[in-house]
Amino acid sequence: MRLVVVGNGMAGSRLVSEVRARDPHLPITVVGAETCQPYNRVLLSNVLAGSTRPEQVRLLDPSWYAAHRVEAVFGSAVTCLDRDTRAVVTEDGRRVPYDVLVLATGSDAIVPPIPGVERAIPFRTLGDCERILESAGSSRRAVVIGGGLLGVEAARGLAGRGLPVTLLHLAGHLMERQLDVEAGEVLGETLAGLGVDIRTGVTAQAVQADGVLLADGDLVEGDLVVLACGVRPVTGLAADAGLEVRRGIVVDDEMRTDDPSIFAIGECAEHDGTVYGLVAPAWEQAGVAADVITGGKALYRGSRMVTRLKARSVELAAMGETQLTEEHAEVVRFTHRARGTYRKLVIRDGRLVGAIVLGESDAVGTLTQLFDRGGPLPGDRAGLLFPGLSATAHVADSPTLMPDAAKVCQCNNVTKGQIRACWEAGARDVAGIAAATRATTGCGTCRDAVEGIVGWLCEQEGVSA
C-alpha cells in the first residue's frame, strides 16, 4: 500500500510522523507546495515579536525524511487529483500514484478585494513573516487590518518592536468569535496601554501608499500594512475531483471523505459541520487518521476548543461558549478594567461550558481541565475564579495538587501522568519531555507548567533538573 500526503504543514507533517511511528515500512510520499521544511505556524507571532528566531519554529529537519524512508517532494503544488487512476499530479508534471491519499491542504489567508490591497502583506506563512519584518525595519508606522487572534498578535508584536501600530477591525470589539463585548473592550484597553491604537467598527476601503483609507473617508497613516482578515480552507483540489465540499472537505469520524481511499485532516477538513482553525484539533485528527490508515481503530468525536493568545504582557485564554448570557446559562463574572482583568465562567447543568480569563491568573489550568473533562463543578464558584482565596479550590497549576489525569499540553493531549512516566524513564528536563511527548511543541503556553512539574519531580527525588 502506498500513502501519499498532500500538504506538509502542521497537519500533514504530523500525519506523516504519526504513520511512520506506527508502521516503519509503509511507503510514504509527502508533497508540499512550500520549498522549506515544515514549521510551526502557531509560533509565527513570536517570530514577529522577536521572542523566537525563524529557525526555532521548524518541525521536521530535512534529514528526518531520508532517515525514516519518506519521499519528500517540496516546492511543487498538486494541481490535479485523478481519482480514476488514483494519482495526484504536481504543477511541474510529476505524477504520484496512491492507494491511500490524505489531503492536508490547510487554509489560505483571506485577502479583501479592495483597491491597492497588493501593497499589503498577509500574515500567514513564514515567508509573509519575513517580508513583514523586512518592511518593519524601514517603516515609520504600521496598520494591521483584522482584530481576530492573529491580528491582535501581529499588532502587539510590531508594537513591541517600537513601531507605532493602528489595529483596524470591522466588528464592534476585538476577537468577537472568542470574546464577549466586555472582554473585547478590556483587551482593547490593555493593548492601547501597550502602544496599539485600536479602531473597531471600521471598514477598510482601500490601501494607499500612505496608509489605509476607511469607508468613512478617514485615512489611517502607515507605510506598512498587514492583513489578518481570517483564513479560508483550501478545498479546490477536492472540489475539482468531485469530493463533497461544504465550507471544508467533508469527513466522517475516521477522517475519511466520501471516497474511502481519501482522507482529509486539519484546517481543510470539515467534521460534523465544523472546520477547526487551531493546531490541537489538527493533531488529534492526524492521530486518528494514522491509526485507521495503519489498520487500527479510532474515531474522531470533535475537539473542545481552547484559544490562547500569545502576546507579550497580555494573558488571555478563552474556551467554549463564551457568548452565552444569564438567559441561557449560569454566568459568573468579575471585571477590574483598570488592571486589565476580566474573568467569566459560563455554567450549564452544573458543568463548565465556557470561560474567559483575561489578565494574569492562576485559574487557567483548573478551568481548562474542568472544561476539557466536562465534570461537575464545586459549589464555590468564586474559588474557581480566585483559587488562592478558597481553601477547597482545586489548584491545577500546583504540581502537588494536579491529578495524573490532568491535561497539561492541550495541543498534544499530554497529561501530568505521561510527563511523570517520562521523567521516571530518564527524561529529566523540558527538552527530554518534549522529545518524548511533544509537550510544549505546539503553542508553547504549557512550558511553564511542564517546567514546574519537572522541577517538582526533581525536588521530590533530590536530583537536579
Query: Each residue of 263-288: pLDDT tens digit?
Result: 999 999 999 999 998 899 999 999 99
Chain-centroid distance of CA 29 in Å reads 25
Tens digit of pLDDT for each residue in 82-95?
999 999 999 999 99
- Residues 291 and 286: their CA atoms lie apart, in Å, by 9
At 458 the pLDDT is 81
Q: Is the pLDDT of residue 299 over 80?
A: yes
Strands 100-103 and 3-6: parallel
pLDDT interval class at 465 (50, 70, 90): low
**Alpha-carbon distances, residue 145 vs 48, 117, 269, 373, 450 (angstroms):** 16, 11, 26, 36, 35
- Once rounded to an integer, what is the mean pLDDT over residues 119-136? 95
pLDDT in tens, 94-114: 999 999 999 999 999 999 999
User: For residue 363, which of 389, 329, 326, 340 has the smallest C-alpha distance?
Assistant: 389
The CA distance from 457 to 163, in Å, is 43
Helical pair 126-136 and 149-160, crossing angle rounded to 10 deg: 40
- CA distance linking residue 283 with residue 295, whole number of Å: 19
Query: Chain-centre distance of CA 10, in angstroms?
Result: 10
pLDDT at 429: 87
pLDDT average, residue stretch 26-45: 90
Q: What pLDDT does 394 receive?
A: 43
- Residue-wise pLDDT tens digits, 337-378: 999 999 999 999 999 999 999 998 788 888 888 898 888 888
3-state secondary structure of 91: coil
**Whole-model pTM?**
0.87
- Domain limits, CATH 3.30.390.30, in the chain: 313-397
Listed as own residue / partner, the contacts of 246-255 with beta carbons closer than 8 Å and 24 or more positions apart are: 246/270, 246/273, 247/275, 248/275, 249/103, 253/288, 253/299, 253/300, 253/301, 254/288, 254/289, 254/292, 254/298, 254/299, 254/300, 255/285, 255/288, 255/289, 255/292, 255/300
pLDDT at 404 (0 to 100)? 80
Tell me the H-state helices in 321-386: 364-373, 381-385
Residue-wise pLDDT tens digits, 308-322: 987 888 999 999 999
Output the CATH code of domain 313-397. Answer: 3.30.390.30
pLDDT at residue 392 tops 70 = no
Instruction: Output the pLDDT for position 464.
Output: 56
Sheet holding 100-103, edge to edge: 70-74, 28-32, 3-6, 100-103, 262-264
The answer to whether domain 117-229 has CATH 3.30.70.141 is no
The chain-wide mean pLDDT, for the chain, equals: 91
pLDDT at 395: 40
Of 33-47, 276-290, 296-310, 316-330, the least confident: 33-47
- Residue span(s) of the chain under CATH 3.50.50.60 come to 3-107+232-293, 117-229
Helix (H) or strand (E) holding 167: strand 165-169
Query: Do 279 and 445 contact (CB within 8 A), yes or no?
Result: no
For residue 87, the one-letter residue type is: A
- For residues 385 and 371, what is the distance between their CA atoms, to the nearest angstrom? 14
Residue found by looking up cell 490524505 in the block: 102
Work out the pLDDT band at 456, boundaries 50, 70, 90. Answer: confident
Task: Give the pLDDT of residue 393.
Answer: 41
Provide the pLDDT for residue 55. Answer: 84
Please give the pLDDT value at position 150.
94
From-to residues of CATH 1.10.10.1100 in the chain = 398-465
Q: pLDDT: is 387 or 48 the higher one?
A: 48
Q: Give pLDDT, residue 146.
A: 97
**What residues pair up with 354 in beta bridges, in sequence order?**
320, 346
Determine the Cα–Cα distance for residues 365 and 278; give it in Å rounded to an integer: 19
| Rounded Cα–Cα distance for residues 312 and 194 (Å) | 10
* Interval 123-141 mean pLDDT: 94
Q: How far apart are CA 216 and CA 147, in angstroms?
A: 19
Q: What is the percent of the chain where pLDDT is above 70?
A: 96
DSSP-derived secondary structure letter, 179? -
Architecture in CATH for domain 3-107+232-293? 3-Layer(bba) Sandwich (3.50)
Q: How confident is the model at residue 388 (pLDDT cuts 50, 70, 90)?
A: low
Which fold is adopted by the domain 398-465? Answer: Arc Repressor Mutant, subunit A (1.10.10)
Report helix, strand and coil shares of the chain as percent, to nearest 5. Answer: 30, 25, 40
Three-state DSSP state, 392 = coil
C-alpha cell read off for 143: 496598520
Name beta bridge partners: 149. Answer: none
